[in-house]
C-alpha cells in the first residue's frame, strides 16, 4: 500500500483572476479585490482522481484546510499528522512543517497543491532533512514554471496512484514583484525527485523565432466592432505593438476599434469590457504548451465562453511543445477546447495542432 502525504496551500492562485499575477504577500489585496480560493477545488479534483484509480493507498494529511477537510469530503479517512498554527491564515512554515511530519511518518510520496512557491517550500524542507521522498504538484498557483507538476489536477491524482519510476526535476520560482512589473526573473531553487510520467509538465522555456509577420497577420485581420482580449507574453506583445500600443507584457489588455479599453485587466474588468463579438488572442507557454491555465487565469471559463479563441505561436515554439494543453479549472470547458486547433504561425499561414 502506498503512503501518500497530501498538503494543500489554500491561498495558492488567489491572485490570478483578479490580476495580481501571484499571491505572495498579496493575500489581503486579493481578498479586497474579491478573489476566491482556487486550490481547495483543485485538490478535491486530484484526490477524487486518486480515489477513482482504485489503487491501495493510505493518506497522510495536514489538518483543516491544508488537506484533512478535503480528503474527508472525497471519502478518505486520512491520518492527520499535524495542524496549521492558524487555519484562517496558513503560511509557508505550515507547509514545511507538514513535509517534516510526512517524512517522520514514512510517506512514500508527497502530493502538494499550490504553485511554484509551494513547490519551493516542499523541496527545501526535504533538502533540509536530507530526505529523498518523491514529490508531485497539483497546479493551483498563478505561476507554474517548475517541472514537478502534473499537467492537470486529474493527471496528478492518477500519477501518484500508479507511478513506478522516478527522476530528478527542477523547481523554479520567479520574483513576483518583478513579474508584476513586466519582467520575468527566474531562479533555480531546488532539484527534486519526481515520478516519471507523460502527464507531468515540462519546465517553462522561452519560444524563439520571429513573430513580426504573425503580428502583422493578426493586425490585418482585426474587425470593426470586435473586442479583442489580448493575453500575456512576448508573442501577443508583438501583436499589441502592431496594433499601436504598448501592452502589459505579463497581463491581459482589452482593445477595440483602435482604443485600449482596459490595461492589465482582471477577470471582472474583462467581463465588463466584452461586447457582442469577442476574440481572445493567446499564445501557448513555450516548453509546456498550455494555452489556458498558466499565468493567464484572468482568462477564466466565464471569459472564454463569451469569446472566440485565436491561438498564435511561432513555428519554433510549436515545434518545441508538440501538442497544446488547457487547464481552465472547468472540466466541461477543457473537454470542449480539446481536439484539433488551427494555430496562426505567420501572416497567412496556420498549422493544425492537437489540444490534449
Predicted pLDDT at 15? 47
Chosen domain end from 146, 169, 195: 195
What residue has cell string 485587466? 265
As a whole number of angstroms, the distance between CA 196 and CA 131 comes to 19
Residue 204 lies in a domain: no
> Same domain, yes or no, for 216 and 168?
no
As a whole number of angstroms, the distance between CA 208 and CA 318 comes to 10
Residue range 311-318: mean pLDDT, rounded: 88
> Same domain, yes or no, for 132 and 269?
no
Tell me which H or E stretch contains 14. none
Residue 70 lies in a domain: yes
Residue 203 lies in a domain: no
pLDDT tens-digit series, residues 220-272: 999 999 999 999 998 999 999 999 999 998 899 999 999 999 999 999 999 99
> Same domain, yes or no, for 147 and 245?
no
As a whole number of angstroms, the distance between CA 73 and CA 98 comes to 20
Assess contact for 131 and 66: CB atoms under 8 A.
Answer: no
Residue 201 lies in a domain: no
Asked whether the whole model's pTM tops 0.75, one would answer no
* Total domains, the chain: 2
Residue 206 lies in a domain: no
> Same domain, yes or no, for 49 and 108?
yes
Tell me which H or E stretch contains 236. helix 234-242
Assess contact for 50 and 157: CB atoms under 8 A.
Answer: yes
Neighbour count for residue 249 (Cβ, 10 Å): 17
pLDDT tens-digit series, residues 206-230: 444 358 888 988 999 999 999 999 9
Residues ≥6 apart with Cβ < 8 Å to 58: 1, 2, 3, 4, 79
> Same domain, yes or no, for 276 and 162?
no
Copy the grid coordinates of residue 122: 516542499
Copy the grid coordinates of residue 314: 511561432
> Same domain, yes or no, for 23 and 149?
yes
The answer on pLDDT for 30 being more than 80 is: no
The answer on pLDDT for 73 being more than 80 is: yes
DSSP tag of 312: B
Copy the grid coordinates of residue 300: 477564466
Residues ≥6 apart with Cβ < 8 Å to 220: 347
Chosen domain end from 164, 195, 226: 195
What residue has cell string 524542507? 125
User: Phi-psi category of 39—alpha, beta or left, where left has phi over 0 and alpha has psi -120 to 50?
Assistant: alpha
Task: Tell me the H-state helices in 266-344.
Answer: 267-273, 301-304, 315-321, 331-337
Quote the domain boundaries for residue 218.
Answer: 212-355
Assess contact for 195 and 154: CB atoms under 8 A.
Answer: no
Residue 56 lies in a domain: yes
Residues ≥6 apart with Cβ < 8 Å to 195: 109, 134, 136, 159, 160, 163, 165, 166
pLDDT tens-digit series, residues 93-126: 999 999 999 999 999 999 999 988 899 999 999 9
DSSP tag of 202: P
> Same domain, yes or no, for 8 and 150?
yes
Residues ≥6 apart with Cβ < 8 Å to 48: 74, 157
> Same domain, yes or no, for 33 and 106?
yes
Residue 324 lies in a domain: yes
> Same domain, yes or no, for 256 and 127?
no
> Same domain, yes or no, for 78 and 112?
yes
Neighbour count for residue 86 (Cβ, 10 Å): 10
> Same domain, yes or no, for 156 and 225?
no
> Same domain, yes or no, for 165 and 118?
yes
pLDDT tens-digit series, residues 323-334: 999 999 999 999
Instruction: Supply the CATH number for residue 6's domain.
Output: 3.40.50.10330
Predicted pLDDT at 60? 98
First to last CA, the chain: 31
As a whole number of angstroms, the distance between CA 304 and CA 323 comes to 20
Chosen domain end from 195, 223, 253: 195
The answer on pLDDT for 19 being more than 50 is: no
Neighbour count for residue 203 (Cβ, 10 Å): 17
Percent of the chain clearing pLDDT 90 (strictly above): 64
Residues ≥6 apart with Cβ < 8 Å to 349: none
Residue 202 lies in a domain: no
Amino acid at each position: 500500500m502506498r503512503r501518500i502525504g497530501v498538503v494543500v496551500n489554500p491561498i495558492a492562485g488567489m491572485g490570478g483572476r483578479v490580476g495580481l499575477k501571484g499571491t505572495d504577500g498579496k493575500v489581503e489585496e486579493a481578498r479586497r479585490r474579491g478573489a476566491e480560493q482556487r486550490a481547495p477545488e483543485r485538490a478535491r479534483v486530484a484526490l477524487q482522481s486518486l480515489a477513482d484509480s482504485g489503487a491501495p493507498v493510505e493518506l497522510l494529511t495536514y489538518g483543516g484546510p491544508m488537506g484533512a477537510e478535503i480528503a474527508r469530503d472525497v471519502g478518505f479517512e486520512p491520518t492527520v499528522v499535524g495542524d496549521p498554527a492558524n487555519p484562517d491564515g496558513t503560511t509557508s512554515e505550515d507547509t514545511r512543517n507538514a513535509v517534516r511530519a510526512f517524512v517522520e511518518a514514512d510517506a512514500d510520496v508527497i502530493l502538494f497543491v499550490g504553485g511554484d512557491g509551494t513547490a519551493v517550500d516542499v523541496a527545501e524542507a526535504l533538502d533540509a532533512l536530507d530526505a529523498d521522498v518523491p514529490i508531485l504538484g497539483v497546479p493551483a498557483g498563478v505561476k507554474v514554471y517548475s517541472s514537478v507538476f502534473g499537467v492537470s489536477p486529474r493527471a496528478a491524482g492518477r500519477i501518484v496512484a500508479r507511478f513506478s519510476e522516478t527522476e530528478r526535476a527542477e523547481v523554479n520560482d520567479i520574483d513576483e514583484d518583478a513579474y508584476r512589473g513586466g519582467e520575468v526573473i527566474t531562479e533555480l531553487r531546488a532539484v527534486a525527485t519526481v515520478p516519471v510520467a507523460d502527464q507531468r509538465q515540462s519546465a517553462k522555456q522561452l519560444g524563439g523565432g520571429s513573430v513580426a509577420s504573425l503580428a502583422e497577420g493578426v493586425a490585418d485581420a482585426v474587425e470593426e466592432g470586435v473586442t479583442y482580449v489580448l493575453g500575456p507574453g512576448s508573442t501577443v506583445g508583438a501583436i499589441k505593438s502592431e496594433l499601436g500600443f504598448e501592452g502589459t507584457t505579463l497581463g491581459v489588455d482589452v482593445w477595440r476599434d483602435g482604443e485600449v479599453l482596459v490595461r492589465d485587466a482582471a477577470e471582472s474588468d474583462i467581463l465588463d469590457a466584452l461586447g457582442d463579438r469577442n476574440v481572445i488572442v493567446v499564445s501557448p507557454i513555450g516548453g509546456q504548451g498550455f494555452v489556458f491555465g498558466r499565468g493567464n487565469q484572468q482568462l477564466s471559463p466565464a471569459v472564454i465562453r463569451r469569446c472566440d479563441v485565436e491561438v498564435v505561436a511561432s513555428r519554433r515554439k510549436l515545434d518545441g511543445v508538440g501538442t497544446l494543453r488547457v487547464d481552465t479549472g472547468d472540466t466541461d470547458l477543457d473537454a470542449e477546447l480539446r481536439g484539433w486547433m488551427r494555430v496562426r504561425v505567420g501572416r497567412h499561414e496556420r498549422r493544425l495542432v492537437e489540444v490534449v
